[in-house]
Amino acid sequence: MNPLELAEARPGPGFTVTLDGRSLDVLPGRTIAAVLWDAGVTSWRSTRDAGRPRGVFCGIGVCFDCLVTVNDRPNQRACLIPARPGDVIRTQEGTGHAD
Ligand code: FES
């Protein structure tokens, strides 16, 4: 029995988003971070100085480790933002700005 069956959840119709051009299936109500995890992606940003990989750390919007570019807006916290149909998600290097 999967979690949806356990909770007797009846989510609405799914949709797709893209991550660096790759199409990902999404169940409604998921955050960007949940969508990326479900796709097997655990890091989507590199740090400014050392280029170290980052993804979710706190999962509650406090640490800012999960920053990602969504619809050309850099530095969005993936753990807080709900995925929306057609979102264009891009991995992010450093500040996410062209500097
Ligand atoms: S994981 Fe900490 S702010 Fe998103």
Q: Which of 66, 76, 92 is the pocket-test mutation for ligand 1 (most atoms within 8 Å of CB)?
A: 66
Cα(56) to ligand 1 centroid in Å equals 5
Say whether pLDDT at 98 is over 80. Answer: no
Determine the Cα–Cα distance for residues 89 and 97; give it in Å rounded to an integer: 15
70-87 pLDDT per residue, tens: 999 999 999 999 999 999
Q: Is the CB of 79 under 6 A from ligand 1?
A: yes
Residue 99 above 80 pLDDT? no
- Note the pLDDT of residue 1: 84
d(CA 99, CA 80): 26
Beta-strand pair 15-19/88-90: parallel
pLDDT tens column, 33-61: 999 999 999 999 999 889 999 999 999 99
Tokens of 52: 């170290």
pLDDT in tens, 11-32: 789 999 999 999 999 999 999 9
What is the rounded CA–CA span in Å between residue 70 and residue 76?
A: 7
| pLDDT in the model for residue 5 | 85
Q: Are strands 45-46 and 53-54 parallel, antiparallel or unpaired?
A: antiparallel
